Every structure is written in C-alpha cells, then in structure tokens.
Structure 1
Amino acid sequence: MDGIGTRVALVTGAAQGIGAAVCEALAGAGARVAAADMRIGRPGGPAGTVPYSVPYAVPYLVPYAVPYSMDVRDPRAVEETVERVERDLGPIDILVNVAGVLLPGRAEETEDERWRQTFAVNTDGVFHTSRAVARRMAPRRRGVIITVGSNAAAVPRIGMAAYAASKAAAAMFTKCLGLELATYGIRCNVVSPGSTDTSMLRALWEGREPDEAHSATLHGDPAAFRVGIPLGRVAEPGDIADAVLFLASERARHITMHDLFVDGGATLRA
C-alpha cells in the first residue's frame, strides 16, 4: 500500500477482533507495528527486548507485531508506552485507536460505573493516546491518526446510549484534532464500522438463537427501530482493517476530518 512502507504504527485494542486485523493489515503492508492492549503480556521481558522479526507466542497477537501492555484509561501509562514505542521502534507515523468496550443497557437503567467505564475506554482512551502521539507528531510535521468509531454514533440505538454517546464524542474529538493538526500536515480520520463479526457483536447475541440473531442483524428489528444491512452481510474485521489501511496510506493524502462508514449501508448514511 502506497506510503506505508516501514513506517511505525501504534494500534490500541490490538489483541483481538478489529484491532488484530488492523495490526495484520499494517504489518502486511510493511509497517513496524506496536500492538497495544491490556490483554497482551511481554514475552521475553519488557516490550521491545525481543527482535522485531521474531513472532510472539501471545494469544490473539498478530505475528511480527511488537506487544505492549497498555491501559488506555491511564494517561500516565499511555505516555510511558508511547515513549517506549518510539524508543524501541522509532517515531510513530500512524496511530489507530481501536480499543473499545460495549456495556449494553437502557439509559434509565445504566449504572454510573458502567457509564464511566464506557467513556473511560471509548472516549478518554482516544483522547489520552491521540494527545500523547500528537504531541510528538506535530514537531515532525507528519503523521496519521485514525479512530475506529461506530455507526451507532450517528443513529440512536435502543440499549446502547452509553456506547453510542462515547463513540460520537470520540469521533468529534478526532475531527477537531484533525482541524488543529492540519497545519502540520497531520491527517485525522474516523472509520465507523457497523455490525462486524467480533466477540463484541456475539456478546450482543447472547440469549438468542444464533440464526435468529444473525437474521435480525441482516434484515432489521422493527421492535428496536433498527434497519438491517442493505448489502446483506455482516462485516469481517478485515473489511474494517482495509478501510484503515487506505486512510493510513498516501492514497488518502488529501483526506482529513472524514468519517468513513463501513457498515454495508446499515445507517442509510444518516
């Protein structure tokens, strides 16, 4: 992919699902990938002490990505990890914010702690990581920041108020950041997936027959005021990763503050 080459990429939420697919796509395009996630240990000692070309025997981790244990909720941990990545691999050229949680529940029944935890990961995490990386990108006058949001940020969803609100906040933050960093030549964009075959989606299907849940996802659920997916398929993590790869590349060099929906038309582009 044009412009990826041997650039250094930091991916949060890298241990599974979309994050792991993004790591694989970037590594496949030649990037040196720092895979950050709370689930990731540090085989062979502190992250970076094992040669980059050695595959790691870490569950969910894409081979040839260097693992970093990081909690995006903790600004100090984020700063320390970003500093360590730049020391180990070089200046970060690409940041992809993928880390996220979905704690479903009706708004009036949502407990304070569930609301706080949702925003701590989905919104504060994007802020902490983007801030730490942007501070370093700006003097270098180059870089790309991509936030993986959700089409739920654009369309109200029953039982997903906290998630949708947190993703909407993260998307607007990323666009504002893009406006502020444009003068440095740094591009900031959002990729908004719809229903994607990940553990997060399957958790939403719990308590229902798999075929019934899959059909409702594809064809809609009138009781929940939710339309289906016009393209008639649930996305795979690789579909989202391909969109991220495009926006990270030089083929998207004139695109910033954009929100790219990868949802098979599910939001009817509302």
Structure 2
Amino acid sequence: MDFQHRTALVTGAAQGIGEAVARALAARGAAVAALDANGERLGAVVADIEASGHRAAAFPVDVADSQAVERAVDRIERELGPIELLVNVAGVLRVSSALSLTDEDWERTFAVNTRGVFNVGRAVARRMVPRRSGSIVTVGSNAARTPRVHMSAYAASKAAAAQWTKCLGLELAQHNIRCNVVSPGSTDTPMQRALWADDRGAEAVIAGNPAAFKLGIPLNRIATAEDVAAAVLFLLSDEARHITMHDLCVDGGATLGA
C-alpha cells in the first residue's frame, strides 16, 4: 500500500485511531492534513510526524462547524494538493442511560459523530467528483450494529454516519469514488481507557459482562489503534479498488459477526 504523492485528510488525528491512521499514511508517503479540535495535542502529533521525515500539517478544526470545515478543506487543497483520501475518525462518547441523557449529550454526540462526517465528507466529495477519483473511509463502531447499555447516543450517531457513508458511496460510484466504513470494537485508546475502572480494564473488556449484555472478545485480546488503522489503509488503497459501500468490522469477534 503505497500512498506516495497523494494528499490525505484525517479527522480526529490528535489521538487514538485518528493519530494511528495519520501516522500510517504519512509513513507510506502521503501528505497528511491532520484535523482535530484539540489544537495543542494535534500540533505535537504533527511535529513528531514531520520529525520522522514525513509530510503533515495541522488544522485545528471542530468538524461540527461546517464553515470552518469548508475553509480548512480549501486551504488543504491549496497548500498540500487535491485531497484524494479522506478518513473520518473524529468522535465523542457520552456515557449515560438512555433516559438520563441530556439534550446537550445527544446534540453534541450527533454534532461530532454524524454531522461532522457529513460536513467533511460533503466538502471533500464535492471536490473529488470533478476529478473522478477518491477514496473515503468513515470509522464507525460495532455499537452501530449491536445495542450497548449506556451508549445509545453513541451507537445511534455511529449507525447514522455509517449509513450516510454508504449512501454517499452509492451516489459517487459513477464518479469512481469509493466510500467504505470500518467498525472497530473495543480498542485501546484514550476514549476506551476513560471507561475503565482500574488498570485491569482491558481484562474486563476481553472477558465480557453478561450483566450489561456484552460478550467478550473471542480472539482474547483488545485491539490496538494500529489494528484499526491497517484496515482503514487497506480500504483506502488500490488493493481495495473493487470494494465500496462495505462495512468492515474489526472487533476480534466481539459481536459474533452481527
């Protein structure tokens, strides 16, 4: 998978899966436009990528702000080149029972996880269409296909983002633009660790929790961000040139292929 001389936009690039995707693309030759609302952390990630001899640039942006997204995409195309690869990773998680969710919890979850995918996807796809080339991957969640206790807003927002990405793929297929989804399960990221009660959190995730109707992980390991990034890069690449509107679940079997 060689991405030499290609420009990639990665949202949520300041940490976790987004950071792993940005680093992997840069290591394979792409010029990476890294977007994230956390400008300080984003700057550190980009500086480290550049120190390794690769190309990257930081764009502190809240993907929920459509005007800010449009400005950033315009700047990326001017400064780094036409965007050929897009990875939507930016996301937030508000944990609460369905009846205890606040209006703000619901609205912010959808603002980032769903509207953010729409804002960035629309802005980039509009520029890809005249060039008749491009590959888009949205990082969703296996929670989009399997109900989770206390994750209703997150699961619903990810399901909406996944379906929007597939519909986009159907409309853009005639323009030689592919759109796919990667749905991770539990992955060792700051978002996941925030759910752990102690340093044995990974063991609990692997074992599962019958009281929460949650199976364990048959492969007996928790995913790394790099595991998910590898799946993303495959779907972005020409190796997957005949794959579109696909949802690739990367969860070690946790949802039994559901």
Whether TM exceeds 0.5 here: the answer is yes
Q: Deviations over 1:197-237 (max 9, x none)?
A: 011001111xx2322x3222001100000000000001111
Q: What residue in structure 2 maps to residue 6 of structure 1? A: 5
* 1:49-198 correspondence runs (5 A): 58-61=43-46, 62-64=48-50, 65-198=56-189
Q: In the alignment, does 2:209 pair up with 1:226? A: no
**TM-score normalised by length of structure 2:** 0.95
Identity %, equivalent residues: 62
Counterpart CA distance in 1 for 2:202 and 2:240 is 34
Question: Shift in Å at residue 87 of structure 1?
Answer: 0.4
Which residue identity lines up with residue 235 of structure 2 in the other structure?
A: L
Task: State the 4+ residue runs in structure 1 displaced beyond 4 angstroms.
Answer: none
Contact 2:141–2:155 (Cα < 8 Å) also in 1: yes
Secondary structure of 2:221's partner?
coil
| Aligned residue among 230, 233, 236 for 2:224 | 236
Partners of 1:199 and 1:60 lie apart in 2 by: 15
Q: CA separation in 2, counterparts of 1:57 and 1:224?
A: 35
In structure 1, the gaps of 5 or more residues are 42-55
Amino acid corresponding to residue 211 of structure 2 in structure 1: A
CA shift, 1:240, in A, is 0.7
Tell me the secondary structure at the aligned position of residue 170 of structure 1: helix
Q: Which runs of 5+ in 2 are unaligned?
A: 51-55
Cα drift, residue 5 of structure 1: 1.8
> Letter of the aligned partner of 2:240 in structure 1?
A
**2:4·2:28 contact (CA, 8 Å) conserved in 1?**
yes
CA distance in 1: counterparts of 2:131 and 2:5, whole angstroms: 17
Q: Give yes or no for contact 2:61–2:68 (8 Å, CA) kept in 1.
A: yes
CA distance in 2, matches of 1:92, 1:59: 23
Partner Cα distance (1:174, 1:102) in 2: 20
Aligned to 1:210: 199
Rounded Cα–Cα distance in structure 2 between residues aligned with 1:197 and 1:209: 14
CA-atom RMSD, angstroms? 1.3
The AA in structure 2 aligned to 1:63 is: I
Cα pair 2:87 2:137 within 8 Å, conserved: yes
TM-score by length of 1: 0.91
What's the secondary structure of 2:182's corresponding residue?
A: strand
